[in-house]
Amino acid sequence: MVDIVTPEVRSRMMRGIRGKNTKPEILLRKLLFGAGFRFRLHRKDLAGKPDIVLPRWKAVIFVHGCFWHRHNGCSLATTPSTRIKFWKQKFDDNVARDVKNRDKLLTSGWRVAIVWECGLRNDPGQISSDVDDWLRNGSMQFGEFPASGQ
């Protein structure tokens, strides 16, 4: 199928996709700040430049978009119907990079959480509460909110 927009328009549209300071990320930051947590953003010295870094808790949080990071079982993790091979490779690379970065952080002693876009859309209060519990409890090295398939 042929693209319905010109290459220049498509390029402009793709440039508009943000890599940081997204709406879900800003929402989570506001919720965490309101709960009394203080954090740093996008530390370049950590694998994957986590969206939120909480040094006091030795924890990092990635806010993942369900489409780009392939949230299992999520209705937002659709696959475009054109250029299927390209998109499959793109998504596979994203997921592999996420796993590699998570493993590096865990190995270096950081606790890692992934907060999915759909959870913040559907129930931001619950996600905030779950992340708060995860941070304060300190027993789990890895947390996912909401869990895959929910």
- List domains and CATH numbers for the chain: 19-145 (3.40.960.10)
Q: Give me the pLDDT at residue 148, please.
A: 63
Q: Is the predicted pLDDT of residue 15 greater than 80, yes or no?
A: no
- At residue 126, the 3 state secondary structure works out as helix
Q: Over 90: is that where the pLDDT of 19 sits?
A: no
Q: What is the pLDDT of residue 1?
A: 55
CA 118 – CA 129 distance, rounded (Å): 16
pLDDT of residue 2: 67
Cα separation of 97 and 127, whole Å? 24
- Determine how β-strand 59-64 pairs with β-strand 111-116: parallel
Could you give the CA distance from residue 144 to residue 116 in angstroms, rounded to a whole number? 8
Strand order in the sheet with 142-145: 40-41, 52-54, 59-64, 111-116, 142-145
- β-pairing, 59-64 vs 142-145, is unpaired
- CA 101 centroid distance within chain: 12
Question: Does 59 score more than 90 pLDDT?
Answer: yes
Given a cut of 60, whether residue 150 has pLDDT beyond it is: no
Give the chain's end-to-end CA distance (angstroms, integer).
33
Q: For residue 23, what are its two tokens? A: 């709406």
Per-residue model confidence (pLDDT) at position 109: 95
By CB atoms closer than 10 A (0-12, 13-18, 19+), residue 114 is buried
Q: Which residue has the higher pLDDT, 18 or 29?
A: 29
**Cα 136 from Cα 53, distance rounded (Å):** 15
- At 92-141, the pLDDT tens digits run 999 999 999 999 999 999 999 999 999 999 999 999 999 999 999 987 89
* pTM tops 0.75: yes
